[in-house]
Amino acid sequence: MAIAEEASDPLSAKEVLENALMLMTQNKVAYVWSNGPTNYGGQAAYLTWAKAVENDNYFAGGTDNMSCQIDAETMVGEGRLHAAIYIESLLDEIPGQAQLLQKCAGLLKAAAACAQEIATLHSQFSTKENRIKIAALIRKAADYEKQACLVLAKILDKTPSQINEIEQQLNEAAAIVAN
């Protein structure tokens, strides 16, 4: 809730999960309140991040990009860990989905663990070898999140055709980033 925001009833667990799935599968994000450019989201954001880390010029001089790097590590690490904790809290609320909820939470925790491992290496950005390791960990986190999205779709009782559509969206990220 923000200051001066109208209070409303909290979202249901299904609405929260639907919103999460939408955000995690959206490869391009445009902010309504901003006239700025469209940003990458979901899998495209991960792939763009990994590509930037591998770019020798990206971290040459200045600290702005390093600040973005540390922010991204934090967002993935904390965000996915808190998402996993929330999903685990739904074990009693969504009967019959315990196995899928635990699997989804486990995948999100694995993505968070990648971010934690990246954080142990970010002080060594000066070497290409370490940046290649970091990029590999970013791609690994992306893959865990991609798998979590597909499990989340099953938790939300999506049809096989809807799940295929979601998987297609997730896979489109590579083409979007390549252009």
- Give whole-number Cα distances, 157 to 6, 13, 63, 67, in Å: 31, 13, 45, 39
Task: Please tell me the pTM assigned to this model.
Answer: 0.89
CA-nearest of 163, 173, 164, 172 to 46 is: 173
> Average pLDDT in the 4-22 region?
87
pLDDT band at 83 (very low <50, low <70, confident <90, very high): very high
Q: Which two tokens stand for residue 135?
A: 């990029």
Most confident segment among 8-12, 36-40, 142-146, 174-178: 142-146
Report which of 139, 81, 89 is spatially closest to residue 107, judged by C-alpha positions.
81
| Domain spans in the chain, listed from the N-terminal domain onward | 13-24+38-178
Q: Which tens digits make up the pLDDT trace of 168-179?
A: 999 998 888 876
Asked if pLDDT for residue 61 goes beyond 60, the answer is no
DSSP letter (8 states) at residue 63: S
Q: How far apart are the first and last CA of the chain?
A: 37
Residue 31: what pLDDT?
66
State the pLDDT confidence band at 118, using cuts at 50, 70 and 90: very high
The pair of three-digit structure tokens given for residue 114, joined into one six-digit string: 């990648």
